[in-house]
Structure 1
């Protein structure tokens, strides 16, 4: 069984358990005040295995599984037998790193909470975009497939704008910083990915036959 599938199963089971156990949800959700004032740093990880509802859970896990299987295969090539372990650590690191800006911003607000795997999922998606910028993405609200790098630029731009507005109820900072972490990690772990990405983009002719 792949590490990707194990993470999906764990996330689904923990999310459902937390919906049925309010105490578990309260203990594991990302509460910056509890992390900063009480040293409950484990919340930076556990919150990534919690979701608000079935729609939130399905969207994150479907996206993660779609890209995670491919990226886990890349990690196996890069790191050999440790590829699965490195992939899990990378995913969890994406969750943690993506939550740090939220921790710093809301550390004095005891009522602020955040949850979801979006930071880790964004890290996985954007690591794959760096490796394969022309991977085809089919979005519900766009009837035709679009190249991954175009989706990436739009996603980062929107996340930056929305995070500055701060009124949507969605932690866009986690999306933004998770995505940046994923690309940075891949650029360091596989340095050839960055010039290859630039070369592919420079050769792109959107309307050529």
Structure 2
């Protein structure tokens, strides 16, 4: 593993500092978390600030640990500026999808960098789909594109069943942000890796078909 790039360090530092402030300051946490009612009342900044707050140390660690593993892949392809753009767009896309799906739930709230991190993860998978990844409790490596598709299908299930206290919608929105932004930066992937691009689009298309049918 290479040394962390300064862009990754800066993002991790921002998450740590804002989250620590939120741990100790309930007013700060409540003021800047994602909240449907507050956002619809005009506090749009929450769609961004909520991505730097976390519920606890474990939540913060898991997100930053995941970012640590996949940020270098995206930076190696795009450099730190475009990596940061992917991170920011994925964060916003996660909030936007959560707002879309929960717009009629004024008390719905969420925090965490999961959407942004999932966007970086999905970008890395799109860029290097044949990489093999290990996940807990499965002793064999899994192709990255299989993991990406499976993760989004699980997120659809989580959204449908309201599984756990997890922002599945933000995860999915972040993945969409990372996917679209990566293709915007390298549109040639549509020609050189058409099958991967199409396969990774399947759960995204499925989500909106299910939403249109009223199944989610």
Question: Counterparts of 1:42 and 1:159 in 2: how far apart (Å)?
Answer: 25
Report whether the alignment pairs 1:26 with 2:30.
yes
CA distance in 1, matches of 2:101, 2:122: 24
Shift of 1:199: 6.1
Given that 1:32 and 1:109 are in contact with CA atoms closer than 8 Å, whether structure 2 keeps it comes out as: yes
The corresponding residue for 2:87 is 91
Among residues 97, 122, 126, which one is paired with 2:122 in the alignment? 126
* Unaligned runs of at least 5 residues, structure 1: 77-83, 202-209
Q: Cα RMSD between the aligned structures?
A: 1.8
**Which residue does 1:185 correspond to in 2?**
181
Equivalent pair of 1:186/1:193 in contact (CA under 8 Å):
no
Task: Check the 8 A contact 1:35/1:41 in 2, yes or no.
Answer: yes
Partner in structure 1 of residue 55 of structure 2: 52
Match of 2:39 in 1: 35
| CA contact 2:126–2:196 (8 Å) conserved in 1 | no
- Equivalent position of 2:12 in the other structure: 8
Change (3 A) 1:200 1:108: closer
- Assess if the C-alpha contact under 8 Å between 1:67 and 1:128 holds in 2: yes
Q: TM-score, normalised by structure 1?
A: 0.85
CA distance in structure 1 between the aligned counterparts of 2:28 and 2:92, rounded to whole angstroms: 19
Cα contact 2:18–2:53 (8 A) shared by 1? yes
2-side partners of 1:197 and 1:12: how far apart? 37
Shift of 1:200: 7.2
Hey, what's the Cα distance between the residues in 2 that align with 1:200 and 1:181? 17
1:195 corresponding residue in structure 2 = 191
Residues 123 and 183 of structure 1 are in contact (CA less than 8 Å); yes or no, is this contact kept in structure 2? yes
Match of 1:69 among 49, 60, 72: 72
Q: What secondary structure does 1:89 align onto?
A: helix
CA distance in 1 between partners of 2:31 and 2:196 (Å): 46
Map residues 138-177 of structure 1 onto 2, 5 A cutoff: 138-177=134-173
- TM-score calculated relative to the size of structure 2: 0.83
Between the aligned partners of 2:138 and 2:149, the Cα distance in structure 1 is 16
1:81 corresponds to which residue?
Answer: none
- 179-188 or 101-110, larger mean C-alpha shift: 101-110
Shift of 1:86: 2.8
Q: Which runs of 5+ in 2 are unaligned?
A: 198-216
C-alpha distance in 2 between matches for 1:97 and 1:200: 22
